[in-house]
Amino acid sequence: MKCKECGTNLGLGGKRGRTPRYCSNACRQRAYRRRKHEGRIPPRLTALARWTRADDKRPITPDGSAASSTNPATWTTHRAVSTGAGNGFGFMLGDGVVCIDLDHALTEEGPTSTAAAVLEATPGAWAEISTSGTGLHIFGAGFERAGRKFTAADGTGVEIYARARFIRMTGKTYRPGGLVVLDLDAVMDAARR
């Protein structure tokens, strides 16, 4: 058996005949904090009227018509997309909000080396698990610039977007945090190591 938080082998048995779930109190506490913050999108994101519903990875308005990453008239509030019926929701990047989209970043052993380096290069930034369950979205603040996309040596897909881009979201917190200012050049350097 493995620790549900860090993946360390647990060995046999636990206290009072219970099957152990965590290798230490530190891992138990990290798991508790993750559950506590799960679904908590930073208030600086939810306060912006840059939200749409989603049909798979396609942005739609709450009434089901097509939404556009360049037409603010098709966007709405987080409250409007997070209540009621619907397949999901997403965010239109811009207005100083940046997203680092890491594909194939999570394995059974934990984050890939590239994902770990990018997480380390973005301290304090909120990260969520993507709809695939194996990717990460790291949100932060930064200047609008052209998007970048490449595949790292370990197979992790790295995409950085800061404007005119729809990100399908889950709200499943991987790492609690906020919209801290990101040094995107440092992120690119960390991802290319």
Calculate mean pLDDT across residues 140-155. 93
Q: 39-193: which CATH architecture? A: 2-Layer Sandwich (3.30)
pLDDT for residue 17: 64
**Nearest to 166, CA basis, from 57, 4, 34:** 57
Residue 84 has pLDDT above 70, yes or no: no
Calculate mean pLDDT across residues 150-177. 94
pLDDT for residue 86: 59
pLDDT for residue 39: 55
Give pTM, 2 decimals. 0.79
DSSP letters of 128-160? EE-TTSS-EEEEEE------EEEE-TTS-EEEE
34 pLDDT tier (thresholds 50, 70, 90):
low
